[in-house]
């Protein structure tokens, strides 16, 4: 009951957020230097006069601003993200075609970074002040300071160019004719480097949070109670400390989702991964604003969905939320 209410509340909020982003997009188009129709059509030359005139009519660019806003937001809410004159296809189609690749990449990177980050954080906190702790914390600090795209480039250089272990380019081997299981393995091989390098920074973030949170929870009274019961240290760490320490990590994971989706633009660019991030990069060079804004909107939508999921997860872990006695 409480959870149903929560989900409904969150969906309402999500819809409002999306609406606000649509409005933001609209004003961004108008903030861009030049004629909005030209802006939407992409760099001059991509669209002919007729197309631009059509655009004017479609968006009502001769009408007052609020009418334009109304039409634009209406279009977006009916999932009409406009047309990419550069690519010669509706923006929504372009995005939907590329979305699965991005989802595979970001979700893999997310799970790798979360699991590895939490595991390392727990390991470091268990040996706080010792060599293992210094090693883990030091490495995390290094990853935390490393630009995503540079880590990706260096990984390509070492593991692909020098060692030749893994492919450093693309989503699958082009023209291999693989099918079924072989194809899955092939994609997996292509996925390893992008997912790892995208996850590296976030792993450092989760590790630091987990470590700090474990150490803080370990100081709390109920841990002393658990020790006073005569429980073994490993049980105390798992059942009492870790479960409580994970709460802030879940919150952080939700907040970091946006960063992860944004980071995918860089990773996909380096690895020529055919996702929406790569689409955004290509559109940047082509000044295809309509596509850029479309990708922006969809990535915001991904973050919103992700936030709703973390919210629900949080409520499932923490009995205190949403059902006060």
Partner 1 sequence: MSVLSITDMSIALPSGADRPFAVKDCTYEIAKGEILCVVGESGSGKSMTANALMGLLPEGVTVAKGTAEFGGKDILQVSEIEQRALRGDRIAMIFQEPMTALNPLMRIGDQIAEVFEAHKRHTPSERKARALDLVREVGLPDPEKIIRAYPFQLSGGQRQRAMIAMSLALEPELLIADEPTTALDVTTQAQILKLILDLRERRGMAVMFITHDFGVVAEIADRVIVMRHGEIVERGTATEVLENPQHDYTKRLLEAIPTGLVPQSVAVEKAPALEVRHLKKTYHTGGGLFRPRRDVRAIDDVSLTIAKGEVLGLVGESGSGKSTLGRAVVRLVTPDAGEILVGGTDMAALSESDLRAARHKVQMVFQDPYASLNPRQRVMRALTDGPMAKGVPKDAARARARELMETVGLGAEAVDRFPHEFSGGQRQRIGIARALAMDPELIIADEAVSALDVSIQAQVLDLLRDLRRQFDLSILFITHDLRVAAQLCDRIAVMQRGQLVEIGPVSDVFLNPQHEYTQKLLAAVPGGGWGKAAE
Partner 2 sequence: MSLWSRFATNRAAVIGLIVLIAVIIIALLAPVMFPKGPWAMVQRPFLAPFDTDGLPLGTDTLGRNVLAGLIYGARVSLLVGLVSTVMALLIGVPLGAVAGFYGGWVDEIAMRFTEFFQTIPNFALAIVLVAILEPSLTSITISIAIVSWPPVARLVRAEVMSVTRREYVDAARLAGLSNLHILTRQVLPNTVSPIIVMASLMVATAILLESSLSFLGLGDPNIMSWGYQIGAARTVIRSAWWLSFFPGVAIVLTVLALNLIGEGLNDALNPHLTRKGKS
Question: CA 187, 190, 196, 202 torsion: positive or negative?
Answer: negative
Residues 6+ apart with CB under 8 A from 214: 121, 122, 125, 126, 237, 241, 242, 245
Q: Which of 164, 155, 165 is nearest to 196 (CA)?
A: 155
Contacts with partner 2 by CB under 8 A lie at 17, 20-21, 28-29, 31-33, 39, 141-142, 144-150, 153-154, 156-157, 161, 215, 219, 255, 257-259, 261-263, 265-266, 269-270, 280-281, 284-285, 287, 289, 292-293, 295-296, 299-300, 302-304, 307
Please, which residue, 139 or 178, has the CB nearer to partner 2? 139
Q: Which does 81 bind (CB under 5 to 8 A by kind): partner 2, partner 1, none?
A: none
Place of tokens 């590296």: 200
Q: Binding to partner 1 by residue 316, rule CB under 8 A?
A: no
Q: Which does 21 bind (CB under 5 to 8 A by kind): partner 2, partner 1, none?
A: partner 2
SS3 state of residue 259: helix
Q: Which does 231 bind (CB under 5 to 8 A by kind): partner 2, partner 1, none?
A: partner 1
Backbone φ and ψ of 90, nearest 5° = -60, 140
Please, which residue, 100 or 233, has the CB nearer to partner 1? 233
Q: Which does 225 bind (CB under 5 to 8 A by kind): partner 2, partner 1, none?
A: partner 1
Q: Binding to partner 1 by residue 240, rule CB under 8 A?
A: yes
DSSP string, 111-174: HHHHHHHHHHHHHHHHTTTSHHHHHHHHHHHHHHTS-HHHHHHHHIIIIIIIS--S--SSSS-T
The CB-of-128 to partner 2 minimum distance in angstroms stands at 8
Residue 62 tokens, joined: 């001769």
Please, which residue, 9 or 74, has the CB nearer to partner 1? 9
Cα distance between residue 98 and residue 264, in whole Å: 12
**Torsion on CA atoms 117, 120, 121, 124, rounded to nearest 10:** -160
The CB-of-183 to partner 2 minimum distance in angstroms stands at 26
Q: Binding to partner 1 by residue 234, rule CB under 8 A?
A: no
Q: Binding to partner 1 by residue 221, rule CB under 8 A?
A: yes
Q: Which does 325 bind (CB under 5 to 8 A by kind): partner 1, partner 2, none?
A: partner 1
Which positions lie near partner 1, rule CB under 8 A? 5-6, 8-9, 220-222, 224-232, 235, 239-240, 243-244, 317-320, 324-325
């Amino acid at each position: 009951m409480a959870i149903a209410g929560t989900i409904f509340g969150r969906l309402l909020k999500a819809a409002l957020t999306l609406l606000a982003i649509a409005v933001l997009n609209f004003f961004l188009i108008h903030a861009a230097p030049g004629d909005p129709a030209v802006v939407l059509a992409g760099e001059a030359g991509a669209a002919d006069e007729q197309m631009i005139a059509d655009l004017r009519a479609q968006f009502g660019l001769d009408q007052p601003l609020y009418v334009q806003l109304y039409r634009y937001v209406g279009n977006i809410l009916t999932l009409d993200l406009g047309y990419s004159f550069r690519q010669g296809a509706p923006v929504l189609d372009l995005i939907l075609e590329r979305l699965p690749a991005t989802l595979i990449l970001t979700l893999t990177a997310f799970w790798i970074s979360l699991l590895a980050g939490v595991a390392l954080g727990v390991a470091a906190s268990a040996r706080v002040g010792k060599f293992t702790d210094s090693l883990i914390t030091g490495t995390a600090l290094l990853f935390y300071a490393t630009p995503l795209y540079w880590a990706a480039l260096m990984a390509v250089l070492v593991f692909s160019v020098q060692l030749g272990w893994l492919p450093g380019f693309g989503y699958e081997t082009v023209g291999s004719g693989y099918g079924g299981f072989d194809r899955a393995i092939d994609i997996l091989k292509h996925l390893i480097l992008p997912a790892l390098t995208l996850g590296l920074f976030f792993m450092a973030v989760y590790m630091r949070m987990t470590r700090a949170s474990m150490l803080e929870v370990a100081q709390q009274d109920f841990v002393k109670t658990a020790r006073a019961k005569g429980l073994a240290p490993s049980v105390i760490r798992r059942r009492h400390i870790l479960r409580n320490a994970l709460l802030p990590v879940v919150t952080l994971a939700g907040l970091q989702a946006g960063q992860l989706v944004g980071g995918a633009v860089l990773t996909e660019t380096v690895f020529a991964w055919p996702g929406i991030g790569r689409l955004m990069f290509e559109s940047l060079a082509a000044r295809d604003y309509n596509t850029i804004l479309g990708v922006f909107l969809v990535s915001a939508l991904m973050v919103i969905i992700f936030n709703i999921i973390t919210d629900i997860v949080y409520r499932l872990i923490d009995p205190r939320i949403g059902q006060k006695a």
